[in-house]
Amino acid sequence: MKIQIELPDEIAEQLRRLAAACGVPSVEEAATIAIGQWVARSREQLDRSDPAQAYFVNQALDELIAKQRK
């Protein structure tokens, strides 16, 4: 999936600085990492609040990870 977003200047600059400091080769890759971390945190919250949704979210995350590995 391809997503295009427009970031506020302040967030874009912070993302550039963090990417450089962490050795991430591009801002796009840093954004992908950030989204993945947000999904993982959100999944944990959902798992705790609604166990019935845990399977759905885990399946979607597994599919996303599999696509990134290709």
CB 58 within 8 A of CB 46: no
Please give the pLDDT value at position 3.
87
Tens-digit pLDDT profile for residues 19-60: 999 999 999 999 999 999 998 888 888 777 776 665 666 677
Predicted local distance difference test score (pLDDT) of residue 7: 92
What pLDDT sits at residue 55? 61
| Whole-number Cα distances in Å, 42 to 12, 25, 33 | 22, 26, 14
Confidence at 8, pLDDT banded by 50, 70, 90: very high
Instruction: State the pLDDT at residue 15.
Output: 93
